[in-house]
Amino acid sequence: MVKEMLTGNGAAAWGVRLAEVDYIPAYPITPQTEIIETIAKWINNGSMDASFVTMDSEHSMITAAGASSATGARTFTTTSSQGLLYGFEMIYTVAGWRVPLVMINVSRGLSAPITLGPDHNDILAIRDSGFLQIHCETCQEVLDSVLMAYRLAEDERVLLPVMVNMDGFFLSFTRESVEIPDIDKVRDFLPEYHPKHAFFRAGQPMAQGVAVLGGEFYSYFKYQMHLASQNSLNVYKEISDDFERIFGRKYGAIDEYMMEDAEYVLLMTNSFSTLGKAAVKRARESGIKAGLLRPRFLRPFPDAEIGNSLKGKKAVAVIDQNISVGKGGIIYSEMAGCLYNEKNRPLMLSFIGGLGGKNISQDEFEFIFEKMINSADTGIVEPPNLLYTEKEWEGMTKLKEIAGRE
């Protein structure tokens, strides 16, 4: 084991290298291009033994990845933002093939307007496809999650593709100290992939319902995907225990921070959770019993784990780094369904922040805790709040005035 200062993209590339992937179809897009550039360099200098092919588009890239995985090759690819949407058709297709490929999405806000900053509308657009989703906070977690994703996807009880998500720029280009595990330990955790079934072997196909006629057959296969996705949480618990035994790091389906005696909880995902944890520490120093809950899995949605974690809490602020136009925060809606039948569920407040990578300031976190405390005292929950400071509004107004004069 060695430690290096790695970007999130660099950690992702190391995860792929350690997984001893066979085939990588690729297409560049900011901010994930560093991943495939690093892998291409290693293959070129002989540090990594894999086939690397630059495709003509994300649609072709995902098609090639699915076909490769269906033959039994361990396959990786990666994309971001508009690239993920460009290949959207094949996302559903390869999930239906039940192929265990792993993709990384480096989240970036969707146009229009065009931005390079991160939010999660890209990754959440595919939440119903059948891909499992693991969302990462740190560079170390990115590397480790790639290894765990292959182990999960390739398990015969699952056989679904996995998407590992990290925030563009805030994590993809941020350097952190990362432990690069020894290859012998990785091979102990993630053996070579030898599938019992492969889609292109007529006698033993991986998926037996690629083309069906009639809704009853279609319903059967879709429900099988649903059951496999739900079952993946139990499989993941075994994988998590193995990972901790071998590498000493523990990753659950959810991440709890100062939750044991918390009364007021922030619920966040991905790298901005680090900002939330700092805000929780400051809230604790001011006497507020604060905590943070971070779902690592968003598909399947870990309802039971989240429900247990939030028992006895007074209020939960769901901070969505996304927006479903015409509805509001996506994860807030997921949480409403998760907690609806709980008898003593906490009050739940909705906040939308971090769109396009907009910072969430300490003042805004203090505003969130104030709103939670007031709601717990009065029982009144206000409509969703867009996190936007007075200073930011003044800057926006000034730009509008300039544009108006021109």
Q: What is the CATH number of the domain that holds 304?
A: 3.40.50.920
Q: How many domains does the chain have?
A: 2
* Segments forming the whole domain that contains residue 353: 254-392
Residues 199 and 320 in one domain: no
Residues 237 and 163 in one domain: yes
Instruction: Report if residue 405 sits inside a domain.
Output: no
| Final residue of a structural domain among 194, 221, 247 | 247
Phi-psi region of 352 (alpha: psi -120 to 50; beta: other; left: phi over 0): beta
Residues 80 and 185 in one domain: yes
Report the pLDDT value the prediction gives residue 1, as an integer from 0 to 100. 82
Report the pLDDT value the prediction gives residue 198, as an integer from 0 to 100. 63
Neighbours of 362 (CB within 10 A): 12
| Final residue of a structural domain among 247, 267, 287 | 247
Backbone φ and ψ for 316, nearest 5 degrees, come out as -125, 130
Q: Of 299, 356, 348, which Cα lies nearest the Cα of 322?
A: 356
109 DSSP assignment: P
Report the pLDDT value the prediction gives residue 212, as an integer from 0 to 100. 78
Report the pLDDT value the prediction gives residue 114, as an integer from 0 to 100. 94
Which regions in the chain score pLDDT beneath 70?
197-210, 405-406
Report the pLDDT value the prediction gives residue 285, as an integer from 0 to 100. 98
Residues 359 and 243 in one domain: no
Report the pLDDT value the prediction gives residue 211, as an integer from 0 to 100. 77
Report the pLDDT value the prediction gives residue 242, as an integer from 0 to 100. 98
Instruction: Report if residue 83 sits inside a domain.
Output: yes
Report the pLDDT value the prediction gives residue 209, as an integer from 0 to 100. 65
Instruction: Report if residue 16 sits inside a domain.
Output: yes
Residues 268 and 239 in one domain: no
Instruction: Please give the helix or strand (H or E) that residue 292 lies within, else none.
Output: strand 290-295
Residues 179 and 275 in one domain: no
Instruction: Report if residue 401 sits inside a domain.
Output: no
Residues 226 and 311 in one domain: no
CATH number at residue 118: 3.40.50.970
| Final residue of a structural domain among 222, 247, 272 | 247
Instruction: Report if residue 100 sits inside a domain.
Output: yes
Residues 147 and 42 in one domain: yes
34 alpha-carbon distance from chain centroid: 19
Instruction: Report if residue 284 sits inside a domain.
Output: yes
Q: Long-range CB contacts (< 8 A, 24+ apart) of 277-280?
A: 278/362, 279/362, 279/365, 279/366, 279/369
